[in-house]
Amino acid sequence: MTPALAVLEKTFGYSSFRGDQEEIIQQVIAGGDALVLMPTGGGKSLCYQVPALVREGTGVVISPLIALMQDQVDALSAVGARAAFLNSTQSADERARVEAAYVAGELDLLYLAPERLRVPSTAELLSRGTIALFAIDEAHCVSQWGHDFRPDYLQLSVLHERWPSVPRIALTATATDRTRQEIVERLDLGSARQFVSSFDRPNIQYRIESKNSPGQQLLQLIRSEHAGDAGIVYCLSRASVEKTAEFLVEQGIVALPYHAGLDARVRAANQKRFLREDGVIMVATIAFGMGIDKPDVRFVAHLDLPKSVEGYYQETGRAGRDGLPATAWLVYGLQDVVQQRRMIDQSEGTETHRRNLSAHLNAMLALCETVECRRVQLLAYFGEESTACGNCDTCLSPPESWDGTVPAQKLLSTVVRLQRERNQRFGAGHIIDILMAKTTPRTTQHGHDAISTWGIGQDLTEQEWRGVVRQLLAQSLLAVNSDGFGTLVITDASASVLDNSRRVKMRREVARPSKAARKAAAIGTLPAEAMPLFERLREWRAAVAKQQAVPAYIVFGDATLRGIAISKPTTLAELGGISGVGEKKLENWGEALLAVVAG
């Protein structure tokens, strides 16, 4: 047995490595550098934790997640590893104790925020001890084109300059080729071995629906499929976060808000509750979530359109980290597209920056409007080929596509007539009113009932017309004017539709079943007879976690409890053979667990 495998079994309770883990770990143990791209829940942490325990000295982990360092250290302490952190939340005495332990060689892992490396005393401290390796977590933060850019990451190349013989491992859960190249350049990892795992998360069911009444749609999802489950709901604005959290609480659901406008103590308290209690739903802006190591998040919902596929993938990846079935659910509508286009036009920065934002949005819209498998489209964005998954909405309930050329011509013609004949621009609602011959104060005031396209669109419903507008925007056959009012204008590409040289394929608006047929995957399916024991184990875990003031997953994850509920061990030896039960946890909780099983 290799030293790495011995650590994996004894400390973490796993009998074998997954995917590229073993090769990555051996590369670092041997003193080589590595760049690791691995999906959330794929086991990235073990790729630096195991080498840190095998190599001489302390593994220094650079992480931007100050609020989560305590939980990361608690999780390592629970398996018997010696871990600590240094950050701005500590008192001078606490920092002094950690520094002394590091210099004395009494730490296996030390977590640091990147900004601490700006402080000269930090580098001096590190030089006084023995460094086993540098792990740069959330390495995509180095990319100025990414969705989580952190300027402090730009200086991390100093690690190699000052300690050239110490191996470095940079890790991220998502990165396009462009981001990966930027990581290599900025961190001076040109000679590092690159390990790119599959980005597929087969246990996540991806579903995207038209936005109708988002609050009620969300409530239906929670009540019909995820009652009592932990989940994350993402909203674009702080006001929407507050409103949605209040709505869910009024419906008797445990929900908490999280956004940058909240008092820091409230944010910290809400995050702590989400991590440490079962069945809490966090309603948040994208300020929340990076590094959240809660394995039993059963759904991630988006009530607004994400700005990029990369951000969407990162956010949905927070569901189902334990490998058990989870849902990634998104509702979006015409107003989302109009709002995002307007934000891009009004954004500060160069024209190149705005083009980059538009490219991100176009890729996200293509994912929303595809009639093909969502997963195939999602993985293709990261350069990975795949086949239809059978576990997304387009696979479970294949949408119809239709020739929308004539409706597109009707709508574009209306925009052209308003713009060229009358020098007027209006938003989607007014243009649809003209097409459907709706007499309103505005159509009457402007005499729009005299336009030649008045009433030529009564063959479609208002909802269907909104879908036409949305898909024309998605295909850049229509644009949002930069006047800040959300008015619509034609594009250079519109002419090819109007002169009939281009056909327009559209996705038909269909009513989705209230509960998509769930794939009866073997992953995590629990026999009915094991459910009572599983629930008793969860109650025991909650009590232990509360007593020790740690998140429940640090005691044991759901996957381990399921294994216990199914196998019903009667001896410590049998219990120790279950995945996720290492020596330290067996010693601490083995007898108590057997007592719960015995009932």
One DSSP character per residue, 290-337 reads TT---TTEEEEEESS--S-HHHHHHHHTTS-TTSS-EEEEEEE-HHHH
Task: Report the alpha-carbon distance of residue 86 to residue 159 in Å, rounded.
Answer: 17
Burial 541-555 (b: 16+ CB within 10 A, else e): beebbeeeebbbbbb
Type of residue numbered 506:
M
- Pair 306, 288 in one domain: yes
Instruction: Find the domain containing 178 and state its range.
Output: 3-196
Task: Report the alpha-carbon distance of residue 423 to residue 416 in Å, rounded.
Answer: 9
- Pair 389, 461 in one domain: no
Q: Please tell me the predicted confidence (pLDDT) of residue 167.
A: 97
Query: Which CATH number belongs to the domain containing residue 137 in this structure?
Result: 3.40.50.300
Query: Which CATH number belongs to the domain containing residue 484 in this structure?
Result: 1.10.10.10
> Considering all CA atoms of the chain, what is the largest pairwise distance in Å, rounded to the nearest integer?
86
Provide the pairing of β-strand 131-136 with 58-62.
parallel
pLDDT tens-place string over residues 108-133: 999 999 988 888 899 999 999 999 99
Q: Which residue has the tokens 């644009």?
A: 479
pTM score of the predicted model = 0.80
pLDDT tens-place string over residues 544-556: 999 998 888 899 9
- Pair 162, 212 in one domain: no
- Pair 310, 409 in one domain: no
Domain boundary (441, 473, 507) is at 507
Q: Please tell me the predicted confidence (pLDDT) of residue 525.
A: 65
- Pair 227, 374 in one domain: yes
- Pair 475, 535 in one domain: no
Give a yes or no: residue 165 inside a domain.
Answer: yes
* Total number of domains in the chain: 4
Count CA atoms closer than 13 A to 491's CA, side-chain side: 13
- Pair 391, 407 in one domain: no
> What value does the mean pLDDT take over residues 437-449?
91
Query: Which CATH number belongs to the domain containing residue 553 in this structure?
Result: 1.10.150.80
> What value does the mean pLDDT take over residues 482-498?
86
pLDDT tens-place string over residues 185-231: 999 999 999 999 988 999 999 999 989 899 999 999 999 999 999 99
- Pair 323, 439 in one domain: no
- Pair 485, 587 in one domain: no
Most confident range, picked from 398-402, 441-445, 591-595: 591-595
pLDDT tens-place string over residues 49-91: 999 999 999 999 999 888 789 889 999 999 999 999 999 889 9
Find out whether 324 and 258 touch, Cβ atoms under 8 Å.
no
Q: Please tell me the predicted confidence (pLDDT) of residue 376.
A: 95
Give a yes or no: residue 49 inside a domain.
Answer: yes
Q: Please tell me the predicted confidence (pLDDT) of residue 522.
A: 34
Q: Please tell me the predicted confidence (pLDDT) of residue 510.
A: 57
Q: How far is CA 373 from CA 131, 172, 369, in A?
A: 46, 25, 11
Task: Report the alpha-carbon distance of residue 312 to residue 310 in Å, rounded.
Answer: 5
- Is residue 28 scored above 60 in pLDDT? yes
pLDDT tens-place string over residues 83-101: 999 998 899 999 999 999 9
Domain boundary (358, 379, 396) is at 396
pLDDT tens-place string over residues 298-356: 999 999 999 999 889 989 999 999 889 999 999 998 888 888 888 887 887 788 888 88
- Pair 26, 161 in one domain: yes
- Pair 217, 287 in one domain: yes
Q: Please tell me the predicted confidence (pLDDT) of residue 515.
A: 42
pLDDT tens-place string over residues 353-390: 888 888 888 899 989 988 889 999 999 998 899 999 99
Domain boundary (164, 196, 228) is at 196
